[in-house]
Structures are given as C-alpha cells and as structure tokens.
C-alpha cells in the first residue's frame, strides 16, 4: 500500500455510527438531546454545589470538578459528530483529529483520577471520621486536583507527540465517530511498536493503578461498615458512598466492556457503537445518579429551583 509523509496528510474520514441516510436525522436528534442533558445536568450540579454552603465539603468539591470534566469530555466528541451529521460530511482535518485525541485523553484520564480521589475521600470519611477535616483539608483537595490535571496533560501530550512522528497510508478512514488513538495507530504505515508499548504501559499505570486504589478503598470501607453495631449506622455509612460506587461501576464497566472483553469479538463499527456508553451515556447519567441517590443534593436542588 502506498504511503505518504505525515506532513502530507490533510484529513481523516470519520465513518460515524451508521451509513444509512434514513438514520442520520434520528442520530442527530438523539445525540443532540443527550449532549444538552449532559451539559445542563452537570452545570446544574456545579451551580447547586456552589450556591449551598452545606455542600462546601471535599466530597462535593470533587463532584463539581467531575461534573465540569464530564462537560468537557462530551464536548470533545459530540459537537463534531453532530456537525458531520448535519453537513453530511465525514472529514476531520489532521490537526483537528490530533487535537481531539489530545483533549479526549486529558479528560478521560482526569475522570479516572477524580473517581479515585473520591474513593479516597469516602475512605477517610468512613474509616477515620474524627480526622476527616484535618486530612481532607482544602489545600490537599486542590493539590490533588492539580496533580491529576498535570498527570492527564502529560499523558495526553506524550501520546500526541508520539503520533506526530508517524506517517500514514492513503486510506485514512476511521470506523468511529471520533478520532480514537487506537484507530489512528491502525492507519499508520510506520512502525507503531513503541506507540503500542506506550499505550499498554500507560493503561497499566493510569488504568489498573487507580482502579486498584478504588478497590482497596472500598475493601477498607466495607470492613469498617461491618464493624458498626447498629443497622441504621451501617445504612447511613454506606449511603454516603452509594452514588460514587454507582458511577465507578458504570464508568469502569463500560470501559472494560469496550476495550477488553469485546475487543476480540466486536467489529470496528460495533465497537464504536459500544463506545457511546462511556463517552456520551456515562457523563449524562452522572448528574442523575448523584442528585437522585443523595439526600443533601436533593435538598440543595429544591432550594435552588
């Protein structure tokens, strides 16, 4: 297959979720509705946390940062997909594609690390309640968020710079609705061994590592809850982390389902459809999970509205 230098690549073609012209209006309406719900729902969470002094705690500080990150995460992929459907164009410029890869990796990594910090916050609150405000002080919370952002930016920048050194083949069709790093590497005519090793290494460090931290935190949380003598006390302790546990299960369940369990059996098009779960559906559901399962959030929302 004839190849060309990376500087000669002008654009990629995003094949999207379906080639059926009759489905395009339905897809446009569906994803526009989901995107608007995601943005409005997460902004409402941020506004609610900011307006109620009772929610100015580490737990809700991390929740507001997570909501802001989810808005940015959805904005990275959905508006471009809607534009392509509306204009019936599949084109994505080389620069635009690499920019989308960069920001997508920043926000998905940030999501991962934020969920880990929230698990640690619940661990301290339940297992060390007397020292909670001493350990989870505002300075530590801000430093944790800044550290997570720095790690996410460095990770995305490293992958993006590695892609810049690749040359690409003539066939630049991406069977996805956004520029995914794995799909771009498949289109390269260069040796991508180092890129793939980097992907596996970073996935192990920034994927398995935080997930192990979450599992460890909840193992200790369950152990502490079981030692509480009263049933009411156990229920109250577990209810404080029920929403976070639901979000963690949804996020990691969909990611693992797409990238591990189904990688060998799904076609590229079916995999892109499955990716909708963690790129669009999960950010949309997070505000509902936290507002409907949390008494403090429901009370603050009623005051705000």
Number of domains the chain contains: 1
Is residue 102 a contact partner of residue 162, using CB atoms and an 8 Å limit? no
Burial class (CB in 10 A: 0-12, 13-18, 19+), 240: middle
- Tokens (6 digits) for 219: 């193992």
Nearest-10 Cα torsion for 293, 295, 300, 301: 40
CATH code, 49: 1.20.1070.10
pLDDT of 275 over the 90 cut? no
pLDDT score, position 267: 60
In which residue are the tokens 């920034």 written? 206
- Confidence at residue 157, expressed as pLDDT on a 0 to 100 scale: 95
- Per-residue model confidence as pLDDT tens digits over 106-118: 999 999 999 999 9
Percentage of residues of the chain with pLDDT beyond 70: 92
What tens digit of pLDDT does each residue of 169-193 get?
A: 777 888 888 998 988 998 888 889 9
119 confidence band (pLDDT: 50, 70, 90): very high
**Domain assignment of residue 37, given as a range:** 3-304
In this prediction, residue 259 carries a pLDDT of 65
The count of residues in the chain is 305
Three-class DSSP category at 224: helix
Cα 128 to chain centroid distance, Å, stands at: 29
User: What Rg value do the Cα atoms of the chain yield, rounded?
Assistant: 21
Please provide the average confidence, as pLDDT, over all residues in the chain: 86
Distances from the Cα of 157 to the Cαs of 43, 150, 204, 234, 241, in angstroms? 27, 10, 18, 44, 33
Rounded to an integer, what distance in angstroms lies between the CA atom of residue 247 and that of residue 167?
39
- Most confident by average pLDDT, 148-157, 177-186, 263-272: 148-157
The sign one gets for the Cα dihedral 161, 163, 282, 77 is positive
Q: What's the mean pLDDT in 198-218?
A: 90
Q: Mean pLDDT over residues 253-268, rounded?
A: 62
pLDDT for the residue 124: 94
pLDDT for res 302? 82
Distance CA(52)–CA(55), nearest Å, equals 6
Q: What is the pLDDT of residue 300?
A: 80
Separation of first and last alpha carbons in the chain: 60
DSSP code, position 141: H
- Output b/e per residue, 126-157; b: 16+ Cβ within 10 A: bbeeeebeeebeeeebeebbeebbebbeebbe
- pLDDT band for position 213 (50/70/90)? very high
| From 110-119, 157-166, 248-257, 269-278, the region with the lowest mean pLDDT | 269-278
Average pLDDT over residues 236-254: 82
Q: State the pairing for strand pair 11-14/173-174.
A: parallel
Among 15-24, 49-58, 261-270, name the one with the lowest average pLDDT.
261-270
pLDDT digits (tens, 9 = 90+) for 132-144: 999 999 999 999 9
């Amino acid at each position: 297959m004839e190849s060309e230098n990376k500087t000669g690549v002008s654009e990629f073609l995003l094949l999207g979720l379906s080639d059926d012209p009759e489905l395009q209006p339905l897809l446009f309406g569906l994803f526009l509705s989901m995107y608007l719900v995601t943005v409005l729902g997460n902004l409402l969470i941020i506004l609610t946390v900011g307006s109620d002094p009772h929610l100015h705690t580490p737990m809700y500080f991390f929740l507001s940062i997570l909501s802001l990150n989810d808005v940015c995460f959805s904005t990275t992929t959905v508006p471009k997909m809607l534009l392509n459907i509306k204009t019936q164009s599949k084109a994505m410029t080389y620069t635009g594609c690499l920019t989308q890869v960069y920001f997508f990796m920043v926000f998905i990594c940030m999501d991962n690390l934020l969920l880990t910090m929230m698990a640690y916050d619940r661990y301290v609150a339940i297992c060390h309640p007397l020292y909670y405000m001493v350990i989870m002080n505002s300075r530590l919370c801000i430093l944790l968020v800044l550290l997570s952002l720095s790690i996410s930016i460095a990770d995305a920048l490293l992958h993006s710079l590695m892609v810049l050194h690749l040359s690409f083949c003539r066939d630049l069709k991406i069977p996805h609705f956004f520029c995914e790093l794995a799909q771009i590497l498949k289109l390269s005519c260069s040796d991508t061994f180092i890129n793939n090793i980097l992907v596996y290494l970073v996935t192990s460090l920034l994927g398995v590592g935080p997930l192990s931290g979450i599992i460890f935190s909840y193992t200790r949380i369950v152990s502490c809850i079981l030692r509480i003598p009263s049933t009411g006390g156990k229920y109250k302790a577990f209810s404080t982390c029920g929403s976070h546990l639901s979000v963690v299960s949804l996020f990691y369940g969909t990611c693992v389902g797409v990238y591990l369990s189904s990688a060998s059996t799904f076609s590229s098009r079916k995999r892109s459809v499955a990716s909708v779960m963690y790129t669009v559906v999960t950010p949309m559901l997070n505000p509902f999970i936290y507002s409907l399962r949390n008494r403090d959030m429901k009370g603050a929302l009623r005051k705000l509205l």
